[in-house]
Amino acid sequence: MNDAKRMVVLTGGGDAPGLNAVLYALVTTAEAHGVTCLASEDGFEGLIQGKLSPLDSKRVQGIASLGGSVIGCSNRANPFAYPHRRSDGSLGTEDVSARVLDTLSREKIDVLVALGGDGTMAMMSRFGPMGVKTLGVPKTIDNDLAATDVTFGFQSAVDFATLAIDRIHTTAAAHDRVMIVEVMGRYAGWIALESGLAGGAHAIVLPEFAYEPEMIAAKIQERAAMGEHYSIVVISEGARPVGGDHAILKLMPEGHLPRLGGAGERLARALEVLVPDHEVRVTVLGHLLRGGSPCASDRVLALRFGVEAAHAVLRDERDVMVSLRNGVVCTVPLAEAVGRNRFVQRDTDTLTAARALGISFGVDWESPKQS
Ligand code: F6P
């Protein structure tokens, strides 16, 4: 093992509960083996601006239970599409990856470690061929990374959403209302599926399957006919009706994903027409799902990922991502995590269970529209 290594760490993309637990485990383990750790604050921003900060075991003491990231996050600092204002005032992007390379070489960095989701892993995979030794650690509440069974942050988001849905039940029942709960997850429906099932939703709307508002209205009417005058619908922010598109709040410059939002309100408007006797309300959980402390299982996963990342650095591995495969923490080629996402499938057993329990997905599973 080489005791003269220098490693820089960043937390890319949006935050997720568990980032600090990874940092704690990674830094304390690496430092104990003589590795010098530095931080690129706010994702790639520190590397782009040429400013790294010391990240030693003292700085990460006692942070494993905290949400957020002590070194800051950014989902704007993409070195290959860095936002900049053009002379005409419009927003464009430029490739500033050379600045990252300069910083790495000036600071004599041996390995770049990024805790991030699919976007960050895609950026990391472009630095490998440029001669940078890269190591990824998968994070995202969306749980949509292909090369790992699960990402940390996901369970905390599901737990919080479930608690929120539990609370929505009582007020929905008291007022005989249809309550729509919109959750994050981007184009993957894992948070909606698991929290909806755990929270006893009557309908769950996922991005993976275009929905028909009429089918959700039918579920509401079916319940009303049984004397149940309230209904809970959990909808993913990335949901889209048959023939429609994702609900987009704001388009972003090239190389950046659009901001989603409004899926719940759009469904509410449709239901107000289809079931006018029912009052409809929408609750958007949004960033509440990302904030706060990681749940116990996310802490444990993050700590395991952090130790494995440090060991991979010490083993001199390059261009790999830490992963959980069949319950075992390991590393996989970074390339496996890039360009492919993990989505809810028709035969996902959690979906099958939810369907068996009578939960509506707003979908006619036999319809060719779903093929
Ligand atoms: O990828 C994580 C995520 O929380 C998505 O679920 C959501 O669409 C997006 O990030 C929100 O990003 P922002 O923090 O830019 O609003």
Q: Which CATH number do you get for residue 312? A: 3.40.50.450
Q: Is 297 in the pocket of ligand 1 (CB under 6 A)?
A: no
pTM score of the predicted model: 0.96
Poorest-pLDDT segment among 1-10, 249-258, 351-360? 1-10
State residue 253's pLDDT score: 82
User: Is 38 domain-assigned?
Assistant: yes
State residue 64's pLDDT score: 98
Residue listed under structure tokens 């706060």 = 292
User: Is 100 domain-assigned?
Assistant: yes
If you take atom 12 of ligand 1, which residue's CA is the nearest one? 14
In this structure, the answer to whether residues 286 and 322 fall within a common structural domain is no
The Cα–Cα gap between 101 and 80 comes to 12
Mutational pocket test of ligand 1: of 140, 160, 186, the residue with most ligand atoms within 8 Å of the beta carbon: 186
In this structure, the answer to whether residues 326 and 312 fall within a common structural domain is yes
Q: Is 138 in the pocket of ligand 1 (CB under 6 A)?
A: no
Q: Is 290 in the pocket of ligand 1 (CB under 6 A)?
A: yes
The DSSP code for 36 is: E
Residue 36 above 60 pLDDT?
yes
Residue 140 above 70 pLDDT?
yes
In this structure, the answer to whether residues 254 and 123 fall within a common structural domain is no
Residue 2 above 70 pLDDT?
no
Range of the domain at 304: 6-152+294-337
User: Is 126 domain-assigned?
Assistant: yes
Atom of ligand 1 nearest to the CA of 75: 15
In this structure, the answer to whether residues 12 and 27 fall within a common structural domain is yes
In this structure, the answer to whether residues 60 and 197 fall within a common structural domain is no
Q: How many CB atoms lie within 10 A of CB 210?
A: 19
State residue 254's pLDDT score: 83
**Are the C-beta atoms of residues 348 and 367 closer than 8 Å to each other?**
no
- pLDDT-based confidence at 370, cuts 50/70/90? low
Task: Give the active site residues.
Answer: 142
State residue 367's pLDDT score: 80
In this structure, the answer to whether residues 281 and 327 fall within a common structural domain is no
The Cα–Cα gap between 308 and 292 comes to 24
Poorest-pLDDT segment among 9-13, 188-192, 217-221, 366-370? 366-370
More confident site: 369 or 185: 185
Q: Let me know how long the chain is.
A: 371
**What's the order of all strands across the beta sheet hosting 231-236?**
203-205, 231-236, 177-183, 279-284
Mean pLDDT of 235-241: 98
In this structure, the answer to whether residues 107 and 10 fall within a common structural domain is yes
User: Is 242 domain-assigned?
Assistant: yes
Mutational pocket test of ligand 1: of 11, 15, 42, 141, the residue with most ligand atoms within 8 Å of the beta carbon: 141
The Cα–Cα gap between 168 and 264 comes to 15
Mean pLDDT of 308-331: 97
Residue 300 above 90 pLDDT?
yes
- pLDDT-based confidence at 369, cuts 50/70/90? low
User: Is 365 domain-assigned?
Assistant: no
State residue 179's pLDDT score: 98
State residue 3's pLDDT score: 52
Domain CATH code at residue 280: 3.40.50.460
In this structure, the answer to whether residues 125 and 190 fall within a common structural domain is no
In this structure, the answer to whether residues 27 and 40 fall within a common structural domain is yes
Residue 292 above 90 pLDDT?
yes
Instruction: Output the CA 234–ligand 1 centroid distance in Å.
Output: 18
The Cα–Cα gap between 186 and 188 comes to 6
State residue 119's pLDDT score: 94
Which residue type occupies 161? A
Atom of ligand 1 nearest to the CA of 287: 4
State residue 333's pLDDT score: 97
Q: How many CB atoms lie within 10 A of CB 332?
A: 17
In this structure, the answer to whether residues 196 and 321 fall within a common structural domain is no
Count the helix, strand and coil residues of the chain and give each as a percent rounded to the nearest 5.
35, 20, 40
242 burial type by CB count under 10 A (0-12 exposed, 13-18 middle, 19+ buried): middle
In this structure, the answer to whether residues 145 and 190 fall within a common structural domain is no
- Angle ∠(58,61,63) on CA atoms, nearest 5: 140
- Per DSSP, the chain holds a count of helices (H) and strands (E) of 10, 16
In this structure, the answer to whether residues 45 and 125 fall within a common structural domain is yes
User: Is 363 domain-assigned?
Assistant: no
The Cα–Cα gap between 6 and 356 comes to 53
Report the number of distinct structural domains present in the chain.
2
Q: How many CB atoms lie within 10 A of CB 100?
A: 26
Residue 13 above 70 pLDDT?
yes
Q: Is 140 in the pocket of ligand 1 (CB under 6 A)?
A: yes
State residue 55's pLDDT score: 98
Bridge partners of 321? 136, 332
Instruction: Output the CA 15–ligand 1 centroid distance in Å.
Output: 9
Query: Tens of pLDDT along 40-98?
Result: 999 999 999 999 999 999 999 999 999 999 999 998 899 999 999 888 888 899 999 99
Instruction: Output the CA 247–ligand 1 centroid distance in Å.
Output: 14
**Are the C-beta atoms of residues 100 and 77 closer than 8 Å to each other?**
no
Q: Is 46 in the pocket of ligand 1 (CB under 6 A)?
A: no
Residue 202 above 90 pLDDT?
yes
**Are the C-beta atoms of residues 7 and 109 closer than 8 Å to each other?**
yes
Residue 258 above 90 pLDDT?
yes
State residue 60's pLDDT score: 98
User: Is 371 domain-assigned?
Assistant: no
Q: Residue 252: CB partners within 8 Å, gap ≥ 6?
A: 258, 259
Q: Residue 174: CB partners within 8 Å, gap ≥ 6?
A: none
Percent above pLDDT 70 for the chain? 98
Q: Is 260 in the pocket of ligand 1 (CB under 6 A)?
A: yes
Return mean pLDDT, the chain. Answer: 96
Mean pLDDT of 220-247: 97
Mean pLDDT of 128-133: 97
Q: Is 240 in the pocket of ligand 1 (CB under 6 A)?
A: no
